[in-house]
Amino acid sequence: MDAKDIVASYFDALAKGEMERTLSFFALEAKWDQPGRNKFAGIKSNLGEIIKMFEGIMSDTLGHMTVAPTGKMMENAGLVAVPVWFSAQKEGKTMNLGGLDLFEIKEDKIIHVWTFSADQPVDDEFWGE
């Protein structure tokens, strides 16, 4: 698979709620850079920390969190940029935001993800400290 195929397969598994398949696209030493000033922000330094973040997000939203591509994936030398739309609900609050996810692929695995929010203060307020 090429880098775009790997990212497309990741989003497909994520949309179907297939977490084991979703996580299979990551290298064990993968990193995840989550921006902002909220309880999920910061760099996750391995797959275990990424799993913990995913579990925290799903617990916080009672499973009401989706991320879906909204446009064409763009690739350059193992990097894949994807415009995305985030939707989440919790405690009577709703968040709908655009953003961008940037994936680094090496040896057919995701080794680094950077996420960008179109409105980080809204993102931070929704997730809280």
Report residue 21 CA to chain centroid gap. 14
Q: For position 58, what pLDDT does the model report?
A: 94
Domain positions in the chain are: 3-127
Q: For position 8, what pLDDT does the model report?
A: 98
CATH topology of domain 3-127: Nuclear Transport Factor 2; Chain: A, (3.10.450)
Q: For position 1, what pLDDT does the model report?
A: 85
Helix (H) or strand (E) holding 77: none
Structure tokens at 27: 């290298």
- Residue 96 pairs in a beta bridge with 87
Closest CA to 66 of 2, 11, 3: 11
Tell me if the pTM is above 0.85.
Answer: yes
- Distance (Å, whole) CA 126 – CA 22: 25
> How far apart are the two ends of the chain, measured CA to CA in Å?
39
Tokens 């990741």 found at:
10
The ranges of the chain with pLDDT < 70 are none
**Residue 63 φ/ψ, nearest 5 degrees:** 85, 5
